[in-house]
Amino acid sequence: MAVRPGSAARDGDGPAAAAARFTGRAVTGERALSGSLTEVALDDGRVVVVKRADGAEAVRAEAAGLRWLAEAGAVRVPAVHGHDAHLLVVDRVVRGRPGRRAAVRFGRGLARLHAAGAPAFGAPPPGGPVEAFVGPAPMRNVTGDDWPRWYAEHRVLPYLRRAVDDGAVRRGEAGAVERVCERLPELAGPAEPPARLHGDLWNGNVLWGADGHVRLIDPAAHGGHRETDLAMLRLFGCPHLDAVLEGYREVAPLAGGWETRVGVHQLFPLLVHAVLFGRGYAAQALAAARSALAG
C-alpha cells in the first residue's frame, strides 16, 4: 500500500487517505483494530489511529474535547492531527502495564486538569457542539451556574426520562432518583467552581502508556463537578485507584464528606448506561439513589 499526502482525499474516504491528508505523510500500511478503529503506519515510522464516528457532530465533539484537555497541560491525551465529517486521526498510544507511580502521577495531573476550569457547568470545549455525546448516547451541553440544578436538569433527569420511556426503569421506581434531584442542594456538599472534566472517565478510557504516563481518550468533555470524574473512576474500576486519589489530594484536597457523595455523582453514568444497555444498570442507579437518600 502507498497513499501519498496531498492525494485527492475527501470526506468519506478511507482511513489511509485521511491519515495521509492530516499528517502530511505517506502511508505504508494499515491494520483494522475494530469496526471503528484502524491503525495506520506512516513513512516516518509513526503510527496513528483513525476512528470512524457516526456523524460530524460526534467527530467534532471528540476532537474539541481532546484539544481542550490537552490545553490544560495536565494529563496527556493523544495528539489530534485532524478530522473530517466522519474520521478522526490521532496518535497511537503504546500500551504498558498499570503501576502505582504512574497512578500517583495521573492523580496529580487529573487534579490540575480539573483546576484548569470551565466557563460554566455544561460548557462545551471551544469549538465543540452543544449537541454532544457521552459514548454513543446524546449529551446536551447546556450551561448553568448552579451545579445542583444544572446536574439534575441536564445530566440526571433527561436520562431518567429516557430510561422510563424505554422500560429500563419502571415508572414507580423513578421517584427515588427524582427525590435525589430535589434534595441535591443539601446532598451536593460545598459549592465548587466548574471543573474541566473528561466526562466519561471509566477505566477503558484511561490508557496506561509504556512510557509510564497515562493518556485519556474518548472524552465527553464539559464543565462540571470534579467529583463526577472521580466517581466514574470508582464505578467502573481503575487500577491503583487508591494511588490515583493519593496523588489527586496532594494537589487539590477534596471537600469533606466526598465519599458520601459518590453515589450522587454516579447517577449520571449509571442512567446513561441504563439507556444504552438496560435493566441491570437501571437497578444500580436506583440503588445509588436510595443510598444517597439514606445518607
Is 218 one of the annotated active-site residues of the chain? no
Long-range pairs, 13-18, Cβ under 8 A, ≥24: 13/87, 15/40, 15/50, 15/52, 15/87, 16/40, 16/50, 18/50, 18/82, 18/84, 18/87, 18/89
Considering 54, 84, 91, 200, which one is annotated as catalytic?
A: 200
Place of cell 497541560: 73
Contacts of 280 by beta carbon, 8 Å cutoff, 6+ apart: none
Phi and psi angles of residue 156, each rounded to the nearest 5 degrees, phi first: -100, -60
Question: Cα–Cα distance between 4 and 21 in angstroms, integer?
Answer: 8
259-262 — which CB contacts under 8 Å span 24+ positions?
A: 260/295, 261/187, 261/188, 261/189, 261/227, 261/231, 261/292, 262/227, 262/230, 262/231, 262/234
Contact assessment for residue 72 and residue 116, using Cβ atoms and an 8 Å cutoff: yes
Using only C-alpha atoms, what is the Rg of the chain? 20
Displacement of CA 210 from its chain's centroid (Å): 22
Pairing of strands 87-91, 47-52: antiparallel
Distance CA 73, CA 108 (A): 12
- The closest of 247, 53, 218, 274 to 289, measured between CA atoms, is 274
In 3D space, the residue among 200, 219, 197 whose CA is nearest the CA of residue 121 turns out to be 197
The C-alpha cell that represents 14 in the structure block: 478511507
Active site residues: 200
